[in-house]
């Protein structure tokens, strides 16, 4: 449970922005989505490798020109 103390005279928009930032940092939604559907470790590793090769390809293209 996230608790955001609202200071006296503080704008509610600013407090809401702090809440959203804190919520994103806790990675709550990411954990919920990961728990919702199970991916096998081998599939996760394969996806990670594919992503790494794609990023590497982009970086080499950027270096070349």
Which two tokens mark 44? 């996760």
Residue 63 has pLDDT above 90, yes or no: no
The Cα 59–Cα 65 span in angstroms is 10
The Cα 30–Cα 21 span in angstroms is 14
Q: What is the pTM of this model?
A: 0.51
Whether 15 contacts 4, CB under 8 Å: yes
Whether 12 contacts 6, CB under 8 Å: yes
Tell me, what's the pLDDT at 11?
Answer: 92
For 1-59, what is each residue's pLDDT tens digit?
Answer: 888 889 899 999 999 999 999 999 999 888 999 899 999 999 999 999 999 999 999 99
* Domain boundaries defined on the chain: 10-62
């Amino acid at each position: 449970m996230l608790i955001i103390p609202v200071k006296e005279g503080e704008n509610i928009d600013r407090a809401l922005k702090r809440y959203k930032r804190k919520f994103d940092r806790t990675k709550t939604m990411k954990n919920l989505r990961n728990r919702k559907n199970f991916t096998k470790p081998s599939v996760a590793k394969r996806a990670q490798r594919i992503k790494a090769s794609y990023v590497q390809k982009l970086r080499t293209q950027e270096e070349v020109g």
